[in-house]
Amino acid sequence: MSSILTNTSAMVALQTLNSINKNLSTVQSEISTGKSVASAKDNSAVWAISQVMQSDVDGFNAISDSLSLGQSTVAVGRNAAESVTNLLSQVKEKIVAAQEDNVDRDKLQTDLASLRDQISGIVGAAQFNGQNLLSNTSTTAGEGQVDILASLDRASDGSVSSSNITVGKQDLGTGAAVVTGGTLADNGTVTTATATGSTQTVAVNATVNTGEAFVFDLAQVGGTGTSNYVAREGDTAADVAAAVVGAVKFDLASQGVDESTNFSFASNGSTIEFTNNTGAVNTAATTSVLQSDGTTGAATNTIGGGLEILGKLDISTASGAAAALSGIETLTQTAIGAAAEFGTGEKRLEIQAEFVGKLTDSLKAGIGALVDANMEEASAKLQALQVQQQLGIQSLSIANQAPQSVLSLFR
């Protein structure tokens, strides 16, 4: 039956043409964007996965920049430490030359001082973007190392955590340890006071907080003067005890006190024992033997450098030259150790940077496999759909002309 009100053939042709046009629009979108999943509307699950992976790629790009900055910083420290090592070799040459009697030791001492100043200049200038790995003078917790962002780790539950590569700072400074300023508060007690004949021993509690300045009142144990010590990051009670013992002995010597006959010192766990062989101990002084600046930063603290004894080497005399010969070996090993530590850290950063680059490429390839369009397939579809579109238009045109045949029945 023919009808001029309902043209079924035209309706079918129109639906077919609409479907063809929709598919053609999809293929054209794939060709123009290069993606088969360009938005959440295309495939919400695949799109969500690709976005998470893309965020990880962006994060690893930032990590790559962090690793590059870290490599540059550590490389500056390594090069400076190697330069210091070379200069210390020249210092050793001067010291060895000073062992000979028939030399001008004063001129050699002048040369040594010049080399020492050059080392100080290198250490001071060995910074990258304000970060100096060779001047570890901080007494604040966590500032004795550099944490370089190295990776983002995504767990199975979707949580993300970061991991770092830690490079320890090295200390090749030549400055001496000093403490100035600050308000001192009592932070020590005489825990024992014993006397055997004319020998008295006082054990002082040596519990300390990193970053505090310490003043020891030797008058309370029969001595004179004071001795200063700044705790280094990571020091244990035993470390502090040993360091303070050395500091006190040095201070006594500077005041002309013969510690070998008048005083002896020993560290015992968390205590330091002062033994006075000549005078009485003030056993009533229970709080003033050990005092500390309880507020970190209240005092102006400068840690003695790892090459501190370089400033004390004096080869202008035969005895000084002999003493310097043993001391220079310690300094050289300190510089060599610093360069080796930086070399290890720099190599690790280089390996991590290479891995991050490969990992980023893998993630990009995975994202592409999920959302990228197959351009060969899209091209073939485009050609086919264009032909279908032309045929659909022709079919609709024929269907629209069908009611015209009814007019012939009325002629």
Give per-residue pLDDT as tens, 167-197.
888 888 776 443 333 344 444 444 444 545 4
Q: Which domain holds residue 167?
A: 48-175+312-364
Judged against a pLDDT cut of 50, whether residue 208 lies above it is answered with: no
Count how many Cα atoms sit within 13 Å of the Cα of residue 344 in the half-sphere of its side chain: 10
Residues 188, 120 within the same domain: no
Residue 228 domain-assigned (yes or no): yes
Using alpha carbons, list the distances in angstroms from residue 194 to 13, 16, 282.
114, 109, 11
| 289: nearest Cα among 191, 200, 197, 210 | 191
Judged against a pLDDT cut of 50, whether residue 39 lies above it is answered with: yes
Which among 334, 349, 364 is the end of a domain?
364
**pTM of this structure:** 0.60
Q: How confident is the model over 295-323, as a mean pLDDT? A: 67
Using alpha carbons, list the distances in angstroms from residue 16 to 30, 42, 266, 377, 392.
21, 22, 99, 22, 7
Per-residue confidence (pLDDT) for residue 143, from 0 to 100: 56
Residue 244 domain-assigned (yes or no): yes
Residues 170, 207 within the same domain: no
Judged against a pLDDT cut of 90, whether residue 240 lies above it is answered with: no
Which amino acid is located at 309 in the chain? I
Structure-model confidence comparison of residues 232 and 10, the more confident one: 10
Total structural domains in the chain?
A: 2
Residue 33 domain-assigned (yes or no): no
Roughly what angle, to the nearest 10 degrees, separates helices 44-97 and 318-371?
A: 170
Query: The dihedral of CA 287, 289, 290, 295: what is its sign?
Result: positive
Residues 257, 242 within the same domain: yes
Cβ pair 353, 67 in contact under 8 A = yes
Q: What are the phi and psi torsion angles at 204 (to 5°)? A: -110, 130
Residues 88, 160 within the same domain: yes
Q: What percent of the chain has pLDDT over 70?
A: 66
Residue 14 domain-assigned (yes or no): no
Task: Please report which confidence band the pLDDT of residue 330 belongs to, taking 50, 70 and 90 as the band edges.
Answer: confident
Residues 141, 63 within the same domain: yes
Which amino acid is located at 137 in the chain? T
Residue 275 domain-assigned (yes or no): yes
Residues 153, 192 within the same domain: no
Q: What is the pLDDT of residues 46-86, one digit of tens each?
A: 999 999 999 999 999 999 999 999 999 999 999 999 999 99
Which amino acid is located at 9 in the chain? S
